[in-house]
Amino acid sequence: MRFSSICVIGLGYIGLPTASTFATHGIRVFGVDSNPAVIKSLQNGQVHIYEPGLNEVVSQALTSGNLKISAKPEVADAFIIAVPTPFYDDKKADMRFVTSAAESIVPVLREGNLVVLESTSPPLTTRDLVLPILEKSGLKAGRDFKLAYSPERVLPGQIMRELVENARVIGGIDAASAEAGRDLYATFVRGEIVLTDSTTSEMVKLMENTYRDINIAIANEFSRLADRFGVDVWEAIQIANRHPRVKILNPGPGVGGHCISVDPWFFVEAAPDITPLILTARKVNDGQPRFVVKLVEKAMLQAKSKKIACLGLAFKPDVDDLRESPAVDVARLLAEAGSEVTVLEPFNTNFEVKGAHNCATLEEAIKDAQVIVLLVNHSQFRNIDPAALAKLTAARTVVDTVNAWNANAFSAAGFKVFRLGVGK
C-alpha cells in the first residue's frame, strides 16, 4: 500500500516521535491529542516532553508543513493509536484511552484505510476491543479496512534512534493487514520488519518486558540476601557474570516506567491461574522501595537526623519520565514516615512529591540535609565530586541505591556511606 497521509492519535513519548518522524519523511501527518495544553504548546512549536533529538525533529516536521496538530482525527490513509494504557489501583488494565481513540476514528474511517494500534495492551485487545469499535462505522475489518498491532519497543533516552533502527513487529488480523503495516513503517524503519498475527504481536511486547521484570526481581532479591549475609552484591554480581551463561542485572530502588512495571500485570490479569512467577516478580519489584526505605532509616540512625535529600525521581537515568517511578515511592514513603524530605529531579523540576519539598538545584536540595540519598543514576549526580559536595552541605551520610558513587572516595571526603545490597 501507498500512504500519503497518516493520523497519529496520542502525542506522548511514542506518538509524537512517531508522527514527527513520518512527517520528516514526506508523509502528511495529523497529530491528535485530547490534552488542550499539549495541542497549544505544539502549535506554538514547543515540545512538552524531554527526549534527546526530539525537539529538532518536531521543529523540522512543523516547519515543513507536513505535521499538523489538532484535537480530532481527520480523514487519512492510515491511523495510528499511540495512547497510554495505565492500570487501575487493583492492577487491572485501564483501556479507556484506547477505547476513546478507536471511537474517534469511526466517523473518519474510509474503505481502504489501515488502522494500527501501538499502545501496549493485553492479549486479544486488537481483535476483541478495537475491531468491534471500528466496525461500528459499517465497514468490515479485513474486507473494507485493514487492522494491525505494532508495539513500540524503544528505550527512553534513545527513542529517536531506536524508532528507526530497531526491529519492528507487525501483527495483522490477516496477512494483508500485516503487509499493509509493513508498507507503512517501511517509510522510515531500517531495522527488520517481522510479520505475524495481532495477538502474537501483542504477546511479544508483553513477553519482552515481563522477561526483564523477572530478571530485575531476582537481582533485587540478591541485594536483600547480600544485605543479610554481609556480602557486597555488586561485587558478587560482577564475579557471577564471569560465567559464560550468566548475566545478572543490577538491583535498584525498584522498577518503573510505563512498560516493565505495567506490562506483566496484563498477563496476570488475563491468566491469573497460570502466572505465579510473573506475579511474584511484580510483588518483589513493587516491594523494593520499602526495602530501600529501611536502608535509609538505618542511615538516619547513624546521622541522628530526619532531614533527607533525595536525588533523582525519574524511573531511569537521564530522562524526564517519572511514570511508576520507584524513586518517587521512596521519597513519598520517607515523607509519610515523618522525615523532612527535599527532592531534586533535574529533568523535571516542577514535579512534586506529596509531603516533600521540591527543589530546583542541588545546592538547595542538600543545604539543610543530614542524609543524602541517591535514587537515580543521572549523569550529573554520578559525576559529583565528593570533596566538592562536602563543601555544600553539613550532611556526612550518603545512601547510594544505584552503585554510582565510589564508596572509598566518599569515605575519604568524610562521608559515611551506605549502599544498597552491601551488608559488609
Spatial separation of the C-alpha atoms in residues 130 and 136, rounded to whole Å: 10
Q: What is the pLDDT of residues 332-341, one digit of tens each?
A: 999 999 999 9
Q: What is the pLDDT of residue 150?
A: 98
> Does the pLDDT value for residue 88 go beyond 90?
no
Q: What is the pLDDT of residues 349-359, one digit of tens each?
A: 889 999 999 99
Q: What is the pLDDT of residues 189-215, one digit of tens each?
A: 999 999 999 999 999 999 999 999 999
Spatial separation of the C-alpha atoms in residues 198 and 329, rounded to whole Å: 35
Q: What is the pLDDT of residues 363-420, one digit of tens each?
A: 999 999 999 999 999 999 999 999 999 999 999 999 999 999 999 999 999 999 999 9
What strands lie across the sheet with 307-311, from one edge to the other? 357-359, 340-344, 307-311, 371-374, 397-400, 416-419
Complete DSSP assignment for 136-205: GGS--BTTTBEEEE------TTSHHHHHHHS-EEEEESSHHHHHHHHHHHTTT--S-EEEEEHHHHHHHH
Q: What is the pLDDT of residues 17-52, one digit of tens each?
A: 999 999 999 999 999 999 999 999 999 999 998 899
Task: Give me the catalytic one of 205, 307, 310, 359.
Answer: 205
Q: What is the pLDDT of residue 307?
A: 95
Spatial separation of the C-alpha atoms in residues 85 and 68, rounded to whole Å: 24
| Category of 341 on φ-ψ map: left (φ > 0), alpha (ψ -120 to 50) or beta | beta
Structural contact between residues 252 and 288, judged by C-beta atoms closer than 8 angstroms:
yes
Q: What is the pLDDT of residue 115?
A: 98
Residue 198: CB atoms within 10 Å: 29
Active-site residue 259, yes or no? yes
Average pLDDT value for the chain: 96
Of 68, 96, 67, 91, the closest CA to residue 81 belongs to 96
Residue 116: CB atoms within 10 Å: 28
> Does the pLDDT value for residue 86 go beyond 90?
no
Give the DSSP H/E element, type plus range, for residue 7.
strand 5-9
Complete DSSP assignment for 353-414: -TTSEEESSHHHHHTT-SEEEE-S--HHHHT--HHHHHTT-S--EEEESSS-S-HHHHHHTT
Gyration radius (Cα) of the chain, Å: 23
3-state secondary structure of 424: coil
Active-site residue 7, yes or no? no
> Does the pLDDT value for residue 155 go beyond 90?
no
Q: What is the pLDDT of residue 50?
A: 87
* Beta-strand runs (E) in 216-336: 307-311
Q: If you search the block for the grid coordinates 494504557, which residue do you land on? A: 85
Of 4, 54, 58, the closest CA to residue 26 belongs to 4
157 pLDDT band, cuts 50/70/90, is confident
Spatial separation of the C-alpha atoms in residues 377 and 320, rounded to whole Å: 13
91 pLDDT band, cuts 50/70/90, is confident
Residue 315 identity (one-letter amino acid)? F
Q: Please measure the distance between the N-terminal and C-terminal CA atoms of the chain and give it in whole angstroms.
A: 63
Task: Give me the catalytic one of 7, 68, 259, 307.
Answer: 259
Structural contact between residues 372 and 398, judged by C-beta atoms closer than 8 angstroms:
yes
- Domains, the chain, with CATH or none: 5-191 (3.40.50.720), 215-424 (3.40.50.720)
Spatial separation of the C-alpha atoms in residues 39 and 255, rounded to whole Å: 31
Q: What is the pLDDT of residues 115-146, one digit of tens each?
A: 999 999 999 999 999 999 999 999 999 999 99
156 pLDDT band, cuts 50/70/90, is confident
Of 24, 37, 27, 29, the closest CA to residue 8 belongs to 29
Q: What is the pLDDT of residue 366?
A: 97
Spatial separation of the C-alpha atoms in residues 382 and 377, rounded to whole Å: 6
Residue 350 identity (one-letter amino acid)? N
Q: What is the pLDDT of residues 260-300, one digit of tens each?
A: 999 999 999 999 999 999 999 999 999 999 999 999 999 99
